[in-house]
Amino acid sequence: MAGKTQAKQPGLKPGTKAATKTTPNTAAKQTAAKVPPVKAKTLIEKEKTAKVVPAKAVPPAKPAPIKPVPVKPAPVKPAAQKPTPAAASGPKPKRQLNGAIKVGIAGCAGRMGQMLLKMLSQAPGVLVVGGTERKGSPALGMDLGALAGTDPFGITVNDDPAGLFESADVVIDFTNPSATATHAGFAARGGTAHVIGTTGLDSDQQAAVARAAQKAPIVMAANMSLGVNLLEQVIEQMARILDSDWDIEIVEMHHRHKVDAPSGTALILGEAAARGRGTTLRRVAKRGRDGQTGPRAKGEIGFAALRGGDVVGDHTVIFAVDGERVEVAHKASSREIFARGAVKAVLWAAGKAPGLYTMKDVLGFNVGPSAPTNGH
């Protein structure tokens, strides 16, 4: 019976005796079986968690590609070298190296240009680096020494003023009004000092020079002699002291080749007289008389221009009133006096700040205004 019961045991329905008999063991087994899987899952989860942590720690490896960032300073180093070429591009550092002011002469084949070549070649602390003339000039290609009457310079005359301003510290200019206005633009472009002795500039050309003076030091003077600049100061004082009953006339004479009239020096003397009278020359100037002009107007400043021979430059300012006349004159017998003043201007202008200067600045004198008097 026991064997039959055991034989039939497998065929019993799983809900009766077999199920009842196996419940305690099955529950125990299930309880025991459930514990390990939970622990196994917990360990696996822990392992997964542990494995995930190093995975999250991997990102710190990302700074490795950031390390190339310090390489960026390498291209920055060439940028630091920029000041070197910038400093070397201008003439001033070169002047510091050889101790000489490099000077160029625009209009080097003219009367004043040749005189300047001779004097500048002998001036201490000065090195002549070039000279220019207008296109088509017969002087083009000549050695500067031949124009100066000295030994060869090894430098020939050319027609490239822009290049002259680039290579020089100071360019001195005795050319013509149109050329001088253009040259002032070259001076402004590179900050090159520009000493101007050209006369006859019109208002537009003078304005061009004034604009250039905002970027370069420019010394502009119709006459660079010490005597004429002193005379200008004296005339202003006299005009301030003598009232409008005194008529003012300016007479000038120059060589037959001079192309402008009145001369630039005569005009600066007239401007000095006008300042002394508290007015402007444009309002009171009488530039020559011809025909039936009528009586002289009170307060006029008259001009007379004479031309002939090889006269370097004579200027006389006349103050005339009933019963007496005062004449103040300056006579130049050699262009050397202008060249000497020009050399002073060159030495003075080198390294100056941008601005429009006069020979009074160069020579360092100024006769201050005095109180007007009632004397006649």
Residues annotated as catalytic (active site), given as ranges: 254, 258
Token representation of residue 146 = 């031949």
Calculated CA dihedral for residues 284, 285, 288, 293, nearest 10 degrees: -10
Calculated CA dihedral for residues 132, 134, 140, 145, nearest 10 degrees: -40
Cα–Cα distances (Å) from 376 to 230, 317, 370, in that order, read: 23, 17, 16
Cα–Cα distances (Å) from 280 to 268, 285, 358, in that order, read: 11, 9, 18
User: Which residues face 171 on adjacent strands?
Assistant: 104, 194
User: DSSP string covering 301-329, please?
Assistant: EEEEEEE-TT--EEEEEEEEETTEEEEEE
Length of the chain: 376
The amino acid present at 224, given as its one-letter code, is M
Alpha helices in the chain (DSSP H): 2-8, 17-57, 63-66, 73-80, 83-89, 91-98, 111-122, 144-148, 161-167, 177-190, 203-212, 226-241, 264-276, 281-284, 336-349, 359-363
**Alpha carbon distance 267, 106 (integer Å):** 24
Cα–Cα distances (Å) from 131 to 3, 120, 228, 341, 348, in that order, read: 139, 12, 27, 19, 20
Exposed (0-12), middle (13-18) or buried (19+): which is 192, by Cβ within 10 Å? buried
Token representation of residue 129 = 């680096």
CB 240 within 8 A of CB 367: no
Q: DSSP secondary-structure letter at 353?
A: P
